[in-house]
């Protein structure tokens, strides 16, 4: 579904992403992990069209999307959430999701009422229907994360990019959020590329994991391969923690 | 074949695969209807006072400039400090074509739309490349540069004196009737703009507009074509403001850049937005009437009004709810009237 080849992005003299290759198959949950500054969010920005790659190819469903603006990428079926939630603070939860319903998919003649009605479905799905008329600035972190998920789902994505969805959540909320993401994948048949620092969650959720370090791909494999790989342990914890 | 469908709170029209819905619940149109009725009845009270009729006509025209400007501020997510540029372009286009080529006011209207549309389209990329203060500075300089041009090419624009003697839209023969007719025309123009702004605000385009105003990068990520929207919401309001210039030319029959292009006029328009309430189309009317009436009342106080007028305006800005202005006082109690409400029935 998504193929990335030789992806490269630098900021001035700093190579944030260097020659990264990996692919995501339909229906998969792929984890993208790595220490802070490894280039995970940059990869996500490049895929979603927020940034343009210096070199390399990003193919989605066989079409080259590298360099396309994010609104076109979204309409092709890729949507993302943010590490730090970026809601439309002065808009209600319903209005925020309605924006995605109207603009995200191919719904040229949908009226505001129909769009709001469909948006209410996504809010109900993430458990925010009762808060549909609350301004986003008045929602707590868990609710903001759920609002972001609803907003992303409302664009009818085929590939959902999750950027540290569990950051700042307590264990109970994280468990609820994980269930929500699983059921979203099952109900909407979406593929997920997921950046996550909470290892317990990503190891349980992902079928495959890609590890980045210093902008380069360190390894790729199943969660059990990754967690036992000395290179990954060294990258996260330092060389003295590797058991020979 | 058009199909009608009457629901409890709205009427639905269907034609081919298009669907239009209009709210008919009284609470959505009752208060605007009362407001329009009051404005329509105003000339009956001040029939014999042409100065007051002119004052209210000016208020209507200021509101007609402020309403599209509010749309532009939200749609481009940038503060335009030079809306009067298009007032000047529209006014001078109509005046010059009418005076020198003898064009009929309807022909000058088309020319005004065309000229304002073309110039704003050429300038519209500044909404992509300039953000925040830079955009404001560029838009601030443009009308001042145009004002300089009216002096440099004084033989064409007549500099400080301005252009005089353009044909009126119509002449009813009596001065009072003309004043009343121009009041109603300006009211219709303002209400037409209000209708446009309100329709956009209450439609699918309205929520898209709001999302651009909130965070254009996130809006883009949600599939909104931000660049196209920005061009539209720069060009379209500019044309509407240009048409106000055309209206001034053919009603007051005089047009001088020194009246409409300097900073003072822009400040008045921006203060109307602040006092009426940012991003509220209805607030523009409240603000325009407040500022115009205050200015005229304080003029009676003599030269001290040059101090009193700004003091009163500053007080109004400070004392009214921040950013929500006069209309915000009303809106706080009725915020749910302005977005479709979903009725939930659970068994």
Contact residues on chain B for A102, CB-CB shorter than 8 A: 204, 207-208
Q: Based on the domain organization, do B86 and B22 belong to the same domain?
A: no
Q: Based on the domain organization, do B277 and B309 belong to the same domain?
A: yes
Mutation site for B-interface testing, chosen from A88, A96, A153 by largest number of B Cβ within 10 Å: A88
Cβ within 8 Å, pair B214-A90: yes
Contact residues on chain B for A91, CB-CB shorter than 8 A: 207, 210-211, 214
Q: Which DSSP helix (H) or strand (E) runs through B329?
A: helix B325-331
Average pLDDT over residues A45-63: 88
Of A45-59, B51-65, B146-160, B308-322, the poorest mean pLDDT is in B308-322
Domain parsing of chain A, residue ranges:
2-88+157-241
Q: What is the pLDDT of residues B290-311, one digit of tens each?
A: 889 988 888 887 778 778 888 8
Q: Based on the domain organization, do B205 and B290 belong to the same domain?
A: yes
Contact residues on chain B for A90, CB-CB shorter than 8 A: 210, 214
**pLDDT range class, residue B341, cuts 50, 70, 90:** very low
Cβ within 8 Å, pair A132-B342: yes
**pLDDT range class, residue B333, cuts 50, 70, 90:** low
A48, A80, A92: residue with CB nearest B339: A92
Neighbour tally for A71: CB within 10 Å: 21
Contact residues on chain B for A151, CB-CB shorter than 8 A: 222
Q: Based on the domain organization, do B127 and B259 belong to the same domain?
A: yes
**Given this model, what pLDDT does residue B332 score?**
64
Q: Return the closest-CA partner of residue A87 out of A35, A25, A146.
A: A146
Residue B38 domain flag: no
Q: Based on the domain organization, do B16 and B50 belong to the same domain?
A: no
| Count of A-B CB contacts under 8 Å | 103
Cβ within 8 Å, pair B339-A105: no
Q: Based on the domain organization, do B27 and B51 belong to the same domain?
A: no
A33 touches A40 (CB < 8 A): yes
Q: Based on the domain organization, do B23 and B51 belong to the same domain?
A: no
**Given this model, what pLDDT does residue B337 score?**
46
Cβ within 8 Å, pair A50-B221: yes
A42 touches A81 (CB < 8 A): no
3-state secondary structure of B18: strand
Average pLDDT over residues A189-217: 85
Look at residue B346 and tell me whether its pLDDT is greater than 70. Answer: no
Look at residue B111 and tell me whether its pLDDT is greater than 90. Answer: yes
Q: Based on the domain organization, do B208 and B265 belong to the same domain?
A: yes
Distance CA B299, CA B310 (A): 12
Look at residue B344 and tell me whether its pLDDT is greater than 60. Answer: no
* Residue A44 C-alpha, separation from nearest chain B C-alpha, in angstroms: 12
Cβ within 8 Å, pair A88-B218: yes
**Given this model, what pLDDT does residue B289 score?**
92
Look at residue B172 and tell me whether its pLDDT is greater than 50. Answer: yes
Q: What is the pLDDT of residues B13-58, one digit of tens each?
A: 888 877 777 777 777 778 888 889 999 998 888 887 888 888 999 9
Q: What is the pLDDT of residues B182-229, one digit of tens each?
A: 899 999 999 999 999 988 887 888 888 888 988 888 999 998 999 999
Q: Which DSSP helix (H) or strand (E) runs through A159?
A: strand A159-163
**Given this model, what pLDDT does residue B213 score?**
87
Residue B221 touches partner A, C-beta closer than 8 Å: yes
Of A55-69, A131-145, B264-278, the poorest mean pLDDT is in B264-278
Look at residue A92 and tell me whether its pLDDT is greater than 60. Answer: yes
Q: Based on the domain organization, do B129 and B56 belong to the same domain?
A: yes
**pLDDT range class, residue B338, cuts 50, 70, 90:** very low
CATH code of the domain covering residue B148 = 1.10.3470
The ipTM (two decimal places) reads 0.87
Six-digit token string for B255: 């047009």
Six-digit token string for A20: 């990264």
Structurally, chain B folds into a number of domains equal to 2
**pLDDT range class, residue A241, cuts 50, 70, 90:** low
Q: What is the pLDDT of residues A174-193, one digit of tens each?
A: 888 888 888 888 888 899 99
CATH class, range A2-88+157-241: alpha beta
Q: Based on the domain organization, do B255 and B107 belong to the same domain?
A: yes
Cβ within 8 Å, pair B207-A99: yes
Residue B269 domain flag: yes
Residue A161 touches partner B, C-beta closer than 8 Å: no
A47 touches A4 (CB < 8 A): yes
* Residue B141 C-alpha, separation from nearest chain A C-alpha, in angstroms: 31
Mutation site for A-interface testing, chosen from B223, B323, B342 by largest number of A Cβ within 10 Å: B223
**pLDDT range class, residue B159, cuts 50, 70, 90:** confident
A88, A112, A155: residue with CB nearest B211: A88
Domain housing B99: 46-338
């Amino acid at each position: 579904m998504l193929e990335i080849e030789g992806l490269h992005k630098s900021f001035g003299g700093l190579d944030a992403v260097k020659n990264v290759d990996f692919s995501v198959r339909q229906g998969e949950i792929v984890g993208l992990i790595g220490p802070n500054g490894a280039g995970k969010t940059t990869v996500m920005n490049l895929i979603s069209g927020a940034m343009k790659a210096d070199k390399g190819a990003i193919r989605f469903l066989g079409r080259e999307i590298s360099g396309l603006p994010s609104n076109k990428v979204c309409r092709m079926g890729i949507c993302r959430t943010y590490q730090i939630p970026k809601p439309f603070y002065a808009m209600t939860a319903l209005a925020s999701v309605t924006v995605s319903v109207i603009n995200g998919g191919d719904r040229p003649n949908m009226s505001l009422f129909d769009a709001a009605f469909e948006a209410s479905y996504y809010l109900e799905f993430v458990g925010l229907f009762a808060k549909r008329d609350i301004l986003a600035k008045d929602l707590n972190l868990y609710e903001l994360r759920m609002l972001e998920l609803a907003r992303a789902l409302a664009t009818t994505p085929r590939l959902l990019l999750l950027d540290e969805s569990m950051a700042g959540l307590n264990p109970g909320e994280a468990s609820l959020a994980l269930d929500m993401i699983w059921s979203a994948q099952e109900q909407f048949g979406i593929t997920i590329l997921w950046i996550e620092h909470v290892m317990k969650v990503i190891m349980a959720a992902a079928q495959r994991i890609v590890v980045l370090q210093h902008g380069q791909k360190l390894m790729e494999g199943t969660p059990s391969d990754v967690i036992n790989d000395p290179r990954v342990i060294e990258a996260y914890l330092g060389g003295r923690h590797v058991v020979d | 074949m058009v199909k009608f469908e009457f629901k409890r709170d709205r009427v639905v029209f269907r034609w081919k695969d298009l669907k239009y819905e209009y709210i008919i619940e009284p609470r959505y149109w009752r208060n605007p209807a009362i407001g329009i009725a009051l404005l329509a009845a105003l000339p009956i009270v001040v029939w014999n006072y042409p100065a007051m009729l002119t004052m209210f006509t000016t208020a209507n025209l200021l509101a007609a400039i402020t309403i599209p400007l509010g749309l532009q501020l939200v749609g481009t997510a940038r503060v335009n400090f030079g809306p009067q540029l298009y007032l000047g372009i529209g006014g001078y286009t109509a005046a010059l074509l009418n005076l020198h080529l003898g064009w009929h006011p309807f022909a000058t209207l088309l020319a005004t739309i065309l000229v304002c549309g073309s110039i704003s389209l050429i300038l519209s990329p500044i909404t992509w490349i300039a953000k925040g203060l830079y955009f404001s500075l560029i838009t601030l300089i443009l009308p001042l540069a145009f004002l300089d041009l009216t002096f440099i090419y004084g033989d064409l624009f007549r500099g400080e004196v301005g252009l005089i003697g353009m044909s009126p839209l119509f002449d009813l023969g009596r001065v009072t009737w003309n004043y009343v007719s121009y009041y109603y025309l300006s009211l219709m123009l303002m209400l037409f703009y209000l209708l446009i702004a309100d329709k956009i605000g209450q439609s699918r385009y309205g929520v898209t507009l709001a999302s651009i105003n909130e965070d254009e990068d996130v809006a883009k990520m949600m599939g909104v074509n931000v660049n196209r929207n920005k061009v539209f919401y720069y060009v379209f309001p500019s044309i509407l403001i240009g048409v106000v210039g055309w209206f001034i030319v053919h009603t007051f029959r005089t047009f001088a850049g020194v009246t409409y292009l300097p900073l003072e006029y822009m400040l008045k328009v921006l203060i109307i937005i602040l006092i009426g309430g940012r991003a509220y189309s209805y607030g523009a009317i409240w603000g325009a009437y407040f500022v115009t009436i205050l200015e005229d009342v304080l003029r009676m106080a003599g030269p001290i009004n040059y101090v009193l007028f700004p003091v009163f305006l500053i007080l109004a800005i400070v004392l009214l709810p921040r950013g929500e202005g006069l209309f915000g006082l009303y809106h706080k109690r009725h915020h749910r009237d302005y977005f479709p409400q979903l009725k939930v029935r659970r068994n």
